[in-house]
Chain A
Amino acid sequence: MPPPSATPPLLVQRPAGLYVPAADLHIDPVRPVERAVITHGHGDHARPGHGAVLATPETLAIMAVRYGPDHAGATQPLPYGRSLDLGAVRLRLVPAGHVIGSAQIVLDSGGMRAVVSGDYKRAPDPTTPPFEPVPCDLFVTEATFGLPVFRHPPIGHELARLAASRAAFPDRPHLIGAYALGKAQRLIASLRESGEAGPIYLHGALERLCALYTELGVELGPLRPLREAGAADLAGALVLAPPSALGDRWQRRLGDPVTGLASGWMRVRARARQRNVELPLVISDHADWDELTATIAEIAPARLWVTHGQEEALVHWARGLGIDAEPLSLQGYTDEGDGAGETEAPA
């Protein structure tokens, strides 16, 4: 728990999540609340059942696709960069570079500024504008990959490995597990940038969100539902599925696929082995250690709160820089967006 200060705090921790008292507003609450602001559409941050929800238009669109149009009593879209006055607090959403519509929440009040970054990354992603560093007094950072062993290679490096495997096994389909929101579309868009023009086959669970990305103006090229593919189409095909569906019975129609998984956890061999895949691809939508530390050094906040992930190492590192760093014990957030899948505890 952060120590109490003389002026009423801009941000506090409550059982439902981070809370802004002056605006009566929860950030990414893990249970239904009256008023919520949502950083991004991943299921552990964006939940249904709130009274009113404030978020980017893209995040609201994702929530509507996932939970139906009535997921909240009322919704209010707030595009990036526009400010909103809520009581004594001025609120602004700034790109977080994590998935489409992902936002950092910038809170200004009485000359103090807090930034809740949600999940973020610094690596380029054709599906979302880049993370924008905002100088502040209190920075709340994630720490999913908060250990110095986590360094994600450039995505081009991993796509080259996928291409090499496809060249080595030209007749086998390549089945890649990628989280349904963000990872799958980033993978597709990056493949397109690298010159892949052919059809990409989708497991049913990816279709709606890919369609939404296309509606939101992200170019994904020719996508085909896997269920419509004939046996001849599948030789050497590229197939995407959610990680939780890998190894399930539906994939028997693929015969003898090379199975891959796109996730930051694939950096560590033991984790990759656990997933039973032949082609571990180190592709993550979360900041790696270098991005986390570079971001904190760049923003240089007086205080740092570290949440969901490997808090300990990052707190240790930040204190070494003279930053007043504290781990937050927020419950209910997982590493969902990195495709760790159904059987793994958040780590």
Chain B
Amino acid sequence: MSPFADLLEALAFEPQRLGKLRHLTRYLSRTPDPDRGYALGALAGTLDLAAAKPALLRRLVETRVDPVLFALSYDYVGDLAETVALIWPSRPPTEDPPRLGEVVEMLASAHRTSVPGLLEAMLDRLDASGRLALVKLITGGLRVGLSARLARTALAEYGAVPVEAIEEVWHGLDPPYTELFAWLEGRAPPPRAEGRGLFRPVMLAHPLEEAELSHLDPAAFAAEWKWDGIRVQAVAEGGRRRLYARSGDEITAGFPDLLPALDFEGALDGELVIASGGTVRPFADLQSRLNRKAPAPALMERLPAAIIAYDALSLEGEDLRARSFAERRARLETWHAARAPDRITLSPLLPFASWEELAARRAEPPGPAVEGVMLKRRDSPYLAGRVKGHWWKWKRDPFTIDAVLLYAQRGHGKRSSFYSDYTFGVWADDGLVPVGKAYFGFSDAELKEIDRFVRAHTVGRFGPVREVTHTEEEGLVLEIAFEGLQRSARHRSGIAMRFPRVARLRWDKRPAQADRLATLEALLAAIEAGGG
């Protein structure tokens, strides 16, 4: 348990993706089966132990600890699981600390009534970080900022195979993943993937630099709208119907209204959107349905999900990925025409003869759910990952506003001595109101300039956060670029920005010249009305 506890501790405090990867691959290479496989499952969210509720922990600890001392401690620490882990008065251990595998297998096979006794005995055998790991594991609150995708990337690095090869088999396997490790260590063939309703690694597009267009032949490309939904892979094989996000995470449970439409034997690639009355709704509507494990019928009726299909990876049991885009598209159209499924439409191909003509179309999208155009080489096979030279995304220009820097926070790693995370605001009737946070978009030289400004104009400190001068006359105006707006009850301004970043430093402007909240509200209204 202690290597797992150390890993959790390291991950919890490691802000950088590369650092997290390093910790994880080191752990995988130094930990035996089945411990490492269970750890991987716990981190990737595929190991569901949820053996105990916080209330049980509280009852256990109250048999051991004076209630006044517990209350004072809980009040100070603020987190029940952590308080229990730290305060647990261990008895002199009579046994070695349990291994993770032992903990998982014991809890998984235990009868509900024997869980408290087991837990108590395990807590006695662990030190504080081991207890914290155990408590977080059984209450399902690991939260170390590690995605399932990152876990698969670590596996790929560990086994020196492409991450797509892991993704191809991942969904057919369960913790403790012993056959996966056996393959990665060259001791066994890869686990079987075909025909089991598994995820196929998706093909990704490169952002287009407009200068590149002059080297590309328009006749070699097909063009489509770039839809503002989420990428989805719909798989129907051997009676299994599944939906996967681009990361490979399964999202089937959130969209039961789509499953009847998956009337095929194969795998389609497309965009998941909300569509009603023939129009595709803005992204914000889709967001209200994401992360819902079991959506209520009323919600599904109000915000019905749909798929805009644009590729076929497999149909009638035949893997099409090695064929050209043109061929796959033809197969997709044939299938669609024959079945006319209710909630699946085809992403229309945009006719164009020249790049100028396509640019003109891009400038006038048909609605708010379009964020640019996609270019796909007609002869490109379906390749996993972001392979250069086949697919391009040509996004519409971002929105921009001028905002005023309000707060700055130091970053991590290379940026730990720089104020690099910014909260910015725009003018409302009663002064500046925060509308977003940005921590990229600027150059190294600009970062230094902002850092200097923050240090010289600090008016308040709150832990690692500094408040900077922001009067009408004095302050730093940032040009913020962003991809969209949506309503948000969590923000004081009532508005949340999508992908905000610092586009330029406007030293030439006084804060009084920055934008007003009314400007954002008008833009939001335009987006919602479908004009954006």
A-to-B contact residues, CB < 8 Å? 147-151, 153, 161, 164-165, 168-169, 246-252, 255-257, 259, 267-270, 272-280, 310, 312-313, 316-317, 320, 343
Contact = CB atoms under 8 A, between A and B. Distances in A.
Contacts of B464: 247, 274-276
Instruction: Give 9 closest A-B pairs by Cβ, nearest first.
Output: A149-B86, A256-B414, A149-B73, A274-B463, A313-B72, A276-B464, A251-B417, A256-B413, A278-B13
Interface centre among A147, A164, A267, A274 (most CB of B within 10 A): A147
Contacts of A270: 77-79
Interface residues of B, number: 39
Interface string B61-98: 00001101100110011110011001101000000000
B83 A320 contact: no
A297 B243 CA distance: 63
A175 to B, nearest CB: 9
A270 B12 CA distance: 11
A274 to B, nearest CB: 5
8 contacts: A153-B127, A168-B22, A169-B19, A249-B417, A257-B413, A270-B79, A276-B416, A312-B72
Contacts of B12: 269
A310 B72 contact: yes
A147 B72 contact: yes
Interface string B245-272: 0000000000000000000000000000
A148 B19 contact: no
B461 interface: yes
B75 to A, nearest CB: 9
A343 B72 contact: no
A279 B464 CA distance: 16
B310 to A, nearest CB: 41
B297 interface: no
B87 A148 contact: yes
Which of A149, A153, A252 has the most chain B CB atoms closer than 10 A to its own CB?
Answer: A149
A168 B413 CA distance: 15
A168 B24 CA distance: 10
Nearest to A277: B13
Given A269-B12, A269-B82, A169 B68 contact: no
B128 interface: yes
Given A168-B23, A268-B86, A278-B19, A149 B416 contact: no
Interface in B430-468: 451, 455, 461, 463-464
A151 B13 contact: no
A278 B86 contact: no
Given A268-B86, A270-B78, A276 B410 contact: yes
Contacts of A149: 73, 76-77, 83, 86-87
Nearest to B414: A256
A310 B82 CA distance: 19
B327 interface: no
Contacts of A250: 417
B72 to A, nearest CB: 5
Which of B77, B89, B451: most chain A CB closer than 10 A? B77
Given A161-B6, A268-B82, A147 B69 contact: yes
B129 to A, nearest CB: 8
Contacts of A267: 86, 128
Contact of B73 (A147, A168, A274): A147
Contact of A276 (B22, B72, B412): B412
A280 B13 CA distance: 8
Contacts of B413: 256-257, 278
Interface centre among B26, B86, B417, by most chain A C-beta atoms within 10 angstroms, is B417
B77 to A, nearest CB: 6
Interface string B457-481: 0000101100000000000000000
Contacts of A280: 13
A159 B464 CA distance: 26
B66 A247 contact: no
Contacts of A164: 6
A300 B530 CA distance: 77
Nearest to A249: B417
Contacts of B22: 168-169
Interface in B379-422: 410, 412-414, 416-417
Contacts of A252: 417
A317 B86 contact: no
Contacts of B78: 270
B15 A278 contact: yes
A193 to B, nearest CB: 22
Given A169-B22, A248-B417, A151 B69 contact: no
A269 B66 contact: no
A158 to B, nearest CB: 11
A260 B369 CA distance: 46
B148 interface: no
B13 A313 contact: no
A129 B417 CA distance: 38
A68 to B, nearest CB: 30
